Structure 1
């Protein structure tokens, strides 16, 4: 099963992806994790990413696309994967479609978690409070001002993916405002219908 999760930051993509990875035995692939792993592995593309990241610049689509292509060729992806945080833009989506077509492994679905952005701030505040209460370190991008910037960036760059995947017939929209178990049940119902 090859899936993409869409939705703004805090929508619950990571939570749902974790539950599905356990159920289906497929990995969740996050762009950040893939970039860090490629950088640490010292692959040719990883070294290119490292140079860009060390210079404090954004990694280009070409490098990100190549890292994703490299990652989905690994054995743990043979039964599928869940992409979380990639693609971020329509050009990346088009590159991914070509990449998967060339590999003979098309996407099964794009799951979009629809949420109320006002409620997301409450979710993030709860996540921050829970992390602090557990003695953990709060991610810098979960701080309120950084989170607001992430929402703006999502609306500008990533939200257009909904229309793109709707036009391909792959988009499945789920109410992400329900509780975790209800969202999981709705995702599983959607996947079983594929």
Structure 2
């Protein structure tokens, strides 16, 4: 089972992705995680990626495609994989087709951008553990302090309001051609494409995903 999750940042792709990978025993390949891993390695490509993200821009197709190509060749992808955050552009989608990388399902998570902005800009992170809070939906017991250690929480550079606004603008530019491509691929029977309302409760979304993946 080879699955693509589409949707703007903050639509809950990562949460549903974890559920899918656990249920169907396939690896979740998150371009966000891969890019952060590259940044933390502090090598030349990591520094380039860090500068791009901090400016609120999207990392180039070439960089992302090379990371994906290496990842799906690993043994744990033999029975399938889930791509979270890739493809982001029509060029990346063409890359998958050109390299004969078979995709079974494309799921698009939909949510108004105003809601996305509220969700992402309200995130607070405990850097040492990766614990995530939200000032409205999941606030810490003490303002801007980690519940377990009492250490200060941070706002990631790409979660700051101006950065999120830029990311959403960039997303709009590339999103519609990409969705149209997969709608057409669905019509000719190459993939199964579904749109999911990401405003629903997590359990409802989970049940919807389960039903889709049975088809």
TM-score higher than 0.5 here?
A: yes
Q: 1:41 deviation in Å? A: 8.1
Q: 1:25 deviation in Å? A: 1.5
Q: Distance in 2 between matches of 1:119 and 1:77?
A: 34
SS in 1 for 2:213: helix
Paired position in structure 1 for 2:131 = none
The C-alpha deviation readout for 1:99-154, integer Å capped at 9, x for no partner, is 2x1xxx51011100111222223333554316661724332222222222221111
Q: Does structure 2 retain, via aligned residues, the 8 Å contact 1:114–1:174?
A: yes
The structure-2 alpha-carbon separation of the partners of 1:37 and 1:148, relative to structure 1 and needing over 3 Å to count, comes to: closer
Paired position in structure 2 for 1:121 = 117
The C-alpha deviation readout for 1:33-69, integer Å capped at 9, x for no partner, is 2245567789xxxx77347437x35754233212211
Q: Distance in 2 between matches of 1:139 and 1:131?
A: 17
Paired position in structure 2 for 1:166 = 183
The structure-2 alpha-carbon separation of the partners of 1:33 and 1:174, relative to structure 1 and needing over 3 Å to count, comes to: same
Higher helix share: 1
Paired position in structure 1 for 2:86 = 86
SS in 2 for 1:79: coil
RMSD: 2.6
* TM-score between both structures, scaled by the size of structure 2: 0.74
SS in 1 for 2:206: helix
Between Structure 1 and Structure 2, whose CA radius of gyration is higher? Answer: 2
Paired position in structure 2 for 1:74 = 74
Paired position in structure 1 for 2:163 = 146
The C-alpha deviation readout for 1:54-100, integer Å capped at 9, x for no partner, is 7x35754233212211100111111211111111110111001222x
Question: Where does the alignment leave 5 or more consecutive residues of structure 1 unmatched?
Answer: none
